């Protein structure tokens, strides 16, 4: 029985992204120095501007519109930092858009002149800053910026670190963050980087926000990142089910198609039911979150997003394992598109909150007791 996964938010954004992603090479081989042809196309299409308000040169669109882009990219296991650059960063900067520097950066992002990489989930004690100078005109950073997604080049980094004990949001040009660099290549082709900073001086203007408001903004941005990461996973799981059904109908064993074996059909049904449940949950949360001012999410909303991401992290891993098994196991499926989708799903399940971090967070939430 054929199956086609319908997009959560159909339209031109989904269709255009799907066409561009379909033409992207399976192994992009990002160097971190030059953008890929696919990323260049996304910048020219203005995908970074979709969520930015019209007052700052953007389209002023909805989370559903960005979700359409993320879901279409997920269908082709595209390891581009779409969620981080097109959703998380605009959400963070929208909360401080009244500042001249933030407003100017939003305009540059919308025009494709800048691409900003967020680093929001540093381990405790990984990085710290202190003020310096008689006029407090400099800050000094010590520690390591970890897990920077440089799958595509970034002009700036937007990161959080304690400044003299108080949380602060920093913005710095990538070129200014000099130090020892270590690069890592993920199973889905993403390139992440760690930068060790040793008494690195930045101007005080690098601090965009300091104090209690930082955490509220970061929580909101991470919730947006988690939901749109879920949209990527929905796209990948839907495509995996399509390809699995096609494979079982084509592949034969003992003279009959694998699709005739009841046990395999039951496995596909389990994947489909989990997919439809997850799809509905993600779409509902995206609609609920849409239009919320930056930094205004309630504890209940943050908890709901964490629950959805936790569910997808578990469900996505199960679906990925099932798809590989139904394609004959890892040795038989490694070169197939379904294997790339499975690895993409597993990688997305670790981003913007893995299942263990989310479970700890949910268990510590008083409202759940």
Q: Are residues 87 and 142 in the same domain?
A: no
Whole-number pLDDT of residue 47: 96
Q: Which residues contact 264 (CB under 8 A, 6 or more apart)?
A: 248, 258, 326
CATH number, domain of 192, equals 2.40.110.10
Dihedral class, residue 368 (left if φ above 0, else alpha if ψ from -120 to 50, else beta): alpha
Share of residues in the chain with pLDDT > 70 (%): 94
Among 141, 175, 210, identify where a domain stops.
210
Residue 285: CB atoms within 10 A of its CB come to 21
Q: Are residues 219 and 355 in the same domain?
A: yes
Q: Are residues 190 and 84 in the same domain?
A: no
Q: Are residues 201 and 219 in the same domain?
A: no
Among 210, 240, 274, identify where a domain stops.
210
Residue 193 structure tokens? 């980087």
Mean per-residue pLDDT of the chain:
90
Q: Are residues 27 and 105 in the same domain?
A: yes
Does 2 map to a domain? no
Q: Please tell me the number of Cα atoms within 13 Å of 96 on its side-chain side.
A: 24
Does 361 map to a domain? yes
Residues 263-295: pLDDT tens digits?
889 999 999 999 999 999 999 999 999 888 887
Residues 57-68: pLDDT tens digits?
999 999 999 999
Does 237 map to a domain? yes
Please say if the pLDDT value at position 155 is more than 70: yes
Q: Are residues 25 and 142 in the same domain?
A: no
Q: Distance (Å, rounded) from C-alpha 192 to C-alpha 316?
A: 22
Among 90, 110, 130, identify where a domain stops.
110
Whole-number pLDDT of residue 360: 87
Q: Pick the most confident of 28-37, 301-310, 324-333.
A: 301-310
Q: How much is the pTM?
A: 0.91
Confidence of residue 333 (pLDDT cuts 50, 70, 90): low
Q: 208-222, 224-238, 247-261, 338-352: which has the minimum mean pLDDT?
A: 247-261
Q: Are residues 257 and 328 in the same domain?
A: yes
Q: Are residues 123 and 63 in the same domain?
A: no
Contact 38, 78 (CB under 8 A): yes
Does 5 map to a domain? no
Q: 24-38, 73-87, 151-165: which has the minimum mean pLDDT?
A: 24-38
Q: Are residues 342 and 308 in the same domain?
A: yes
**Structural domain for 154, as ranges:** 116-210
Q: Are residues 234 and 364 in the same domain?
A: yes
Please say if the pLDDT value at position 29 is more than 90: no
Whole-number pLDDT of residue 364: 82
CATH number, domain of 303, equals 1.20.140.10
Whole-number pLDDT of residue 274: 94
Whole-number pLDDT of residue 317: 93
Measured CA angle at 216 (ends 166, 306), to 5 deg:
125
Does 4 map to a domain? no
Does 243 map to a domain? yes
Does 203 map to a domain? yes
Using alpha carbons, select from 18, 343, 17 the residue that is nearest to residue 190: 343
Please say if the pLDDT value at position 368 is more than 50: no
Please say if the pLDDT value at position 133 is more than 80: no
Residues 190-231: pLDDT tens digits?
899 999 999 999 999 999 999 988 999 999 999 999 999 999
Contacts 24+ apart (CB under 8 A), 129-137: 129/161, 129/162, 129/163, 129/164, 129/168, 129/170, 130/163, 130/164, 131/163, 131/164, 131/204, 132/201, 133/204, 136/204, 137/203, 137/204
Q: Are residues 142 and 25 in the same domain?
A: no
Whole-number pLDDT of residue 264: 86
Q: Are residues 132 and 75 in the same domain?
A: no
Q: Distance (Å, rounded) from C-alpha 93 to C-alpha 103?
A: 8
CATH number, domain of 84, equals 1.10.540
Please say if the pLDDT value at position 6 is more than 80: yes
Q: Distance (Å, rounded) from C-alpha 120 to C-alpha 89?
A: 10
Residues 172-190: pLDDT tens digits?
999 999 888 999 988 888 8
Does 54 map to a domain? yes
Segment 22-34 mean pLDDT: 69
Number of folded domains that form the chain: 3
């Amino acid at each position: 029985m054929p199956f086609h996964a319908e997009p959560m938010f159909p339209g031109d954004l989904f269709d255009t992204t799907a066409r561009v992603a379909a033409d992207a090479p399976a192994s992009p081989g990002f160097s971190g120095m030059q953008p890929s042809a696919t990323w260049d196309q996304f910048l020219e299409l203005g995908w970074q501007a979709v969520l930015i308000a019209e007052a700052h040169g953007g389209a002023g669109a909805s989370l559903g519109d960005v979700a359409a882009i993320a879901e279409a990219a997920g269908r082709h296991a595209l390891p581009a930092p779409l969620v981080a650059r097109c959703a998380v960063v605009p959400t963070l900067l929208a909360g401080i858009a009244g500042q001249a520097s933030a407003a100017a950066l939003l305009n540059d992002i919308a025009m494709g002149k800048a691409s900003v990489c967020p680093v929001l989930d540093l381990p405790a004690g990984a990085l710290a800053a202190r003020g310096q100078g008689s006029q407090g005109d400099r800050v000094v950073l010590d520690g390591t910026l970890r897990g920077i997604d440089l799958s595509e080049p970034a002009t700036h980094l937007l990161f959080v670190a304690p400044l003299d004990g108080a949380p602060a949001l920093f913005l710095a040009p990538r070129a200014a963050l000099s130090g020892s660099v270590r690069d890592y290549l993920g199973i889905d082709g993403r390139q992440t980087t760690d930068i060790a900073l040793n008494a690195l001086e930045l101007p005080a203007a690098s601090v965009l926000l300091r104090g209690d408001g930082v955490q509220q903004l970061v929580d909101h941005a991470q919730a947006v990142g988690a939901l749109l990461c879920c949209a990527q996973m929905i796209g990948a799981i839907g495509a995996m089910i399509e390809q699995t059904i096609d494979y079982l109908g084509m592949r034969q064993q003992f003279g009959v198609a694998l699709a005739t074996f009841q046990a395999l059909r039951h496995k596909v049904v389990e994947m489909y039911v989990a997919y439809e449940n997850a799809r509905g949950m993600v779409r509902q949360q995206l609609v609920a979150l849409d239009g919320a001012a930056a930094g205004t999410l309630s504890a209940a909303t943050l908890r709901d997003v964490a629950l959805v991401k936790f569910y997808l992290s578990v469900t996505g891993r199960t679906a990925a394992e099932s798809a590989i098994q139904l394609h004959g196991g890892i040795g038989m499926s490694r070169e197939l598109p379904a294997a790339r989708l499975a690895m993409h799903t597993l990688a997305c399940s670790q981003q913007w909150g893995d299942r263990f971090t989310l479970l700890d967070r949910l268990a510590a939430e008083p409202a759940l007791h």
